[in-house]
Structure 1
Amino acid sequence: MKETIHIYHTNDLHSHFENWPRIRRFLQERRRWHEEAGESVFIFDIGDHVDRSHPMTEGSLGKRNVELLNEAGYDAVTIGNNEGITLPKEGLEILYEEAEFPVVLANLYEEDGKRPKWAQPFCLVHLPNGMTMGLTGATAFFSSAYEQLGWTLSEPLVALEKQINQISGQADIVVVLSHLGIYEDEKIAHTMPKADVVLGAHTHHLLHEGKEINQTLLAAAGKFGYYVGHVMIEVDTETKQILRKKACVYNTMEALPAPANEHKEIEGYAEEGKKALAQPVISLSVPLASDWFAPSELPQLLCEALREWCGADGALLNAGVCLGGLEAGTVTKYDIHRMLPHPINPCLIELSGAELKEVLKQATDDKWSHMTIKGLGFRGKVMGRFIYDRLSVDMEQYRFKVNGTDIVNDHQYKLATLDMFAYGRFFPPLYRAPQKKHFMPEFLRDVMEWKLLHHGFHLKK
């Protein structure tokens, strides 16, 4: 007898709750539809559902995201790097306390080598037709970041192969929840033929009709909830064999109907976050302005704070990282979050004087100000002008200084900056530098709050 098993999947929502009401309604209706027809249906999320750039996620440290997954009826998830390394260790340890679904994750361990209590390397699902589906999952290999937070991460493809080999003898269908990216998914298909379906994420790739490699079906639904993925597996229930696999995606705004009061619900998520972050931080006697293209107080203050926080000789950041200023009067955690929503960590990089000169020279290029940035944790619009603390550049005389003293080519200097400059190839000397220290789990907004609280005397007239 032939039967179709339905799998719906989302990935990399990044707390884009403006798409969530339609997604939730669609998934709930599809589950009801398939169950009434006597068909098996599953809903999986492939990580990065959490993004602390949204105030509701920030205010609940992601626990409200888990509540939304519960409400929509998800059957299993894996984690992305946003769940894994933008939350403090204690935050991830309690994130899934109320989850009504398993977290399938094969390559994360405690420092002592034990698996975390909230995750399991695989799970088996026994279907009404007598067949068994096996699930395993893995997250992207940011090993040094996980180690700094108190976790141990193993190589994901090695971990997956071990789990796939283990469950393939117990399962008729093997599904991988992969927060690894399209290139790693293709490696899985080429090297692990026992994997029947790989549901992908991390690189925000969109496979409209899936991609089949060596009889393994790859599927992925892009980013931000713009699409929902659907995999259909046709099976012979007597022989327990897969007959056919098919994938498609649904455009959230075009194909998914809006529930009643959609806009009110979306606004409610933002308002909930605002209330959760309403704690006062400080009262300013003067406003702090922010301008992306001209000198202004707030980016300069942040740059100074960054240098002090990292214990550096000098600091460099882009003004576009500040999304607004602060008004005089009471400043709340919400105000600081609104201004600095990025999951960007402070970073300390050691450079030779010659390398530091090259970075400062590159930073004077006019191309930066209006450059649009995507990815790397940046939540702004444009780069903006570069801001320095205890660094100066005079291109007419070709002089570069640290704290008023000429930079010496063969001396070593410590530069405080944003981790996105250490990851991205904006400045090759920063990208290539072997000595880097990332401050985790603190974000720029934590540094700003620390500066306002402990150095508030700088803000008085």
Structure 2
Amino acid sequence: MEQLHIMHTNDLHSHFENFPRIQRYIADERLQDQILNQETLVFDIGDATDREHPLTEATLGQANIEWMNQIHYDAVTIGNSEGLYYDHQILEHLYDQANFPVVLANLWENNGQLPHFAQAYQMLTTRQGTKIGVIGLTASYKRTYPLVQWDVHPAADVLPSLLTKLRPQVDILILLSHLGLNQDRQLAQTYPELDLIIGAHTHHLLPQGEQQRHTWLAAAGKYGEQVGNIYLDLENHHLQTVRVKTTPVTEINSQPEDQTWILEQQRKGERLLEEQVVATLPVQYERVPAPHSSLDLTFQAMEELTNCQIALLNTGLFLTTLLAGPVTENDLHRQLPHAIHVMKTTLSGQDLWRLAMEVEKNRGFLSNFIQKGMGFRGKFFGDLVWDGLEVDPRTRQVFYQHQPLQPSQKYQIALLDHYLFIPFFPTIEIMGENEIIYPDFLRTIVSKYLQRTFGGGEKRDDKTGK
């Protein structure tokens, strides 16, 4: 009887506070497997990096790769935090120093080739000769991947041919899936050739796994709060039994030096960002609406970028105040840590009126709404504020430049792509002509505006990392 122990992580999102215990657990389990003569494999299923953490931001993910190299992963795939949070050229070189393979079958260069850092699958052979095929797939965001010059394909476009090719060659076939639980379940029902789907993306936790027909599903939640374990028993290279469990990091012993290391990663990132002085501000810009507010600075940056005279923002975006004097990339990162982009939307006057009514309808609810995901890294959504547009909620009239909106006239508005992805403003998606502006995050747009307006620093280019 051959025994195989698979450990897996997913959606770590740069939660460095859990990394020491994860690393210690995997090392201890590997040692125990050696004693028991069990084979060990370790996989990561994407979204390992997140630019919310200052060290990831400062190093454009390289600090994460350095840590992952210490884990000695047997294979990883990428998530949208890698695929969409970095410019094309940054992602091209994210894994230059990695000591593990990146399996990724559905993200291609525009010339139809896989990127140089990736391979569609990995073939592994255990000490006893069992052959294991490992495929990687990531969520196919067709709207946004082309904005960073990637050609992404749905799983159904690439998986059948890979299964036809690999299934006859292997004893065990594993999919590293950054697709989400619903799609994992669908794939398990559709493709019984898959023995195991290790999932991610929707942050789902399957503490004891889930069996769909022939295929087992596993997933370890989010943020490194759990480490996944899958135990396979094989007889003559044939899979006999599968057991799945997850181990909470709270059950893994911590060491006194852990907290020192965690704090040092935070401080190291902050120091690197503090070295990048953006501008010198003449006055303090408050986090909330005020005579001098960060909200107004951001409106000006967005409107200048998009050549619009109307803009909309929510106050929950702004986490800190910008003090008078030198402002650094660390200040902007602390204020606007979000993975959110500026978007230029064109609407008819009739549809802009409808959007304004949606804003009014949801205003009270959203003020204290705890917003999670879709790039937002704050807590409360906050108040909605227009620039260049006046709304009279009593009469339901909307004015632009003190004149009522003309129903058939076209208006251009500076928004955020976040508003397209959350469900509160359906008019944006249904009726809007939407141009999402990549690769810069909102804070980078503000940074460049401050440098042009107030001077006093050199801005790193997010396209080159320099």
Separation (CA, whole Å) in 1 of partners of 2:402 and 2:451:
28
**Structure 2 unaligned residues grouped into runs of 5+:** 456-466
Tell me the residue number matched to 1:312: 308
Shift of 1:313: 3.6
Q: TM-score, normalised by structure 2?
A: 0.94
Shift of 1:396: 3.2
Shift of 1:296: 5.9
Separation (CA, whole Å) in 2 of partners of 1:283 and 1:296:
15
- 2:412 partner amino acid: K
Other structure's SS at 1:283 match: strand
- 2:335 partner amino acid: M
Tell me the residue number matched to 2:375: 377
Tell me the residue number matched to 2:464: none
Tell me the residue number matched to 1:199: 198
Separation (CA, whole Å) in 2 of partners of 1:408 and 1:359:
14
Separation (CA, whole Å) in 2 of partners of 1:74 and 1:423:
33
Deviations 1:30-81 (A, max 9, x none): 1122123221101100000111111100011111111111112211100000
Shift of 1:371: 1.2
- 2:391 partner amino acid: V
- 1:208 partner amino acid: P
1:342 aligns with 2:341: no
Once the two structures are superposed, the pairs formed by residues 406-421 of structure 1 within 5 Å of their partners are 406-421=404-419
- 1:314 partner amino acid: I
Separation (CA, whole Å) in 1 of partners of 2:398 and 2:292:
22
Q: TM-score, normalised by structure 1?
A: 0.95
Tell me the residue number matched to 1:283: 280
CA contact (8 A) 2:358 2:424 kept: no
Tell me the residue number matched to 2:298: 302
- 1:246 partner amino acid: R
Shift of 1:162: 1.9
Tell me the residue number matched to 2:459: none
Q: Specify whether residues 11 and 296 from structure 1 end up closer, same or farther in structure 2 by C-alpha distance, changes over 3 A only.
A: farther
Separation (CA, whole Å) in 1 of partners of 2:396 and 2:237:
74
Tell me the residue number matched to 2:58: 59
Tell me the residue number matched to 2:265: 269
Shift of 1:437: 0.7
Deviations 1:359-412 (A, max 9, x none): 223323322211110111101111111122211112234331223332112222
Separation (CA, whole Å) in 2 of partners of 1:402 and 1:261:
59
1:218 aligns with 2:214: no
Deviations 1:219-260 (A, max 9, x none): 001111111111111101xx311000111101111x111133
- 2:244 partner amino acid: A
Tell me the residue number matched to 1:330: 326
Shift of 1:295: 7.4
Other structure's SS at 1:144 match: coil
- 1:25 partner amino acid: R
Deviations 1:119-177 (A, max 9, x none): 00011001101111110010001123111111111222331222222111111111100
Other structure's SS at 2:391 match: strand
- 1:322 partner amino acid: F
Tell me the residue number matched to 2:9: 10
Comparing 160-169 and 134-143, the one that deviates more:
160-169
Deviations 1:291-340 (A, max 9, x none): 27x77611122122212212224110101101111111111111111111
Separation (CA, whole Å) in 1 of partners of 2:292 and 2:263:
31
- 1:98 partner amino acid: Q
1:46 aligns with 2:42: no
Tell me the residue number matched to 1:368: 366
Other structure's SS at 1:67 match: helix
CA contact (8 A) 1:349 1:433 kept: no
Separation (CA, whole Å) in 1 of partners of 2:151 and 2:396:
46
Alignment match of 2:402 (pick from 396, 401, 404)? 404
Provide the aligned length of Structure 1 versus Structure 2: 452
Q: Specify whether residues 274 and 189 from structure 1 end up closer, same or farther in structure 2 by C-alpha distance, changes over 3 A only.
A: same
1:249 aligns with 2:246: yes
Shift of 1:85: 0.7
Deviations 1:193-238 (A, max 9, x none): 11100000011111110000112000001111111111111101xx
Separation (CA, whole Å) in 2 of partners of 1:380 and 1:154:
31
Alignment match of 1:429 (pick from 427, 443, 447)? 427
Separation (CA, whole Å) in 1 of partners of 2:367 and 2:351:
22
CA contact (8 A) 1:300 1:388 kept: no
- 2:146 partner amino acid: E
Once the two structures are superposed, the pairs formed by residues 175-186 of structure 1 within 5 Å of their partners are 175-186=174-185
User: Aligned residues: percent identity?
Assistant: 36
Separation (CA, whole Å) in 2 of partners of 1:17 and 1:432:
39
CA contact (8 A) 2:225 2:248 kept: yes
CA contact (8 A) 2:284 2:292 kept: no
Q: Specify whether residues 18 and 433 from structure 1 end up closer, same or farther in structure 2 by C-alpha distance, changes over 3 A only.
A: farther
Separation (CA, whole Å) in 2 of partners of 1:181 and 1:22:
26
**Structure 1 unaligned residues grouped into runs of 5+:** none
CA contact (8 A) 1:55 1:334 kept: yes
Tell me the residue number matched to 2:462: none
Other structure's SS at 1:268 match: helix
Separation (CA, whole Å) in 1 of partners of 2:430 and 2:259:
46
CA contact (8 A) 1:355 1:429 kept: yes
- Please list every run of at least 4 consecutive aligned residues from structure 1 whose deviation after the TM superposition is greater than 3 angstroms: none
- 1:251 partner amino acid: P
CA contact (8 A) 2:75 2:122 kept: no
CA contact (8 A) 2:9 2:45 kept: yes
Separation (CA, whole Å) in 1 of partners of 2:243 and 2:291:
55
Separation (CA, whole Å) in 1 of partners of 2:146 and 2:244:
36
Deviations 1:240-289 (A, max 9, x none): 11000111101111x11113311111111111111221211111121111
Separation (CA, whole Å) in 2 of partners of 1:334 and 1:265:
20
Other structure's SS at 2:256 match: coil
Once the two structures are superposed, the pairs formed by residues 55-204 of structure 1 within 5 Å of their partners are 55-204=54-203
Tell me the residue number matched to 2:458: none
Shift of 1:434: 4.7
Other structure's SS at 2:220 match: coil
- 2:446 partner amino acid: M
Separation (CA, whole Å) in 2 of partners of 1:404 and 1:309:
24
Separation (CA, whole Å) in 1 of partners of 2:253 and 2:3:
25
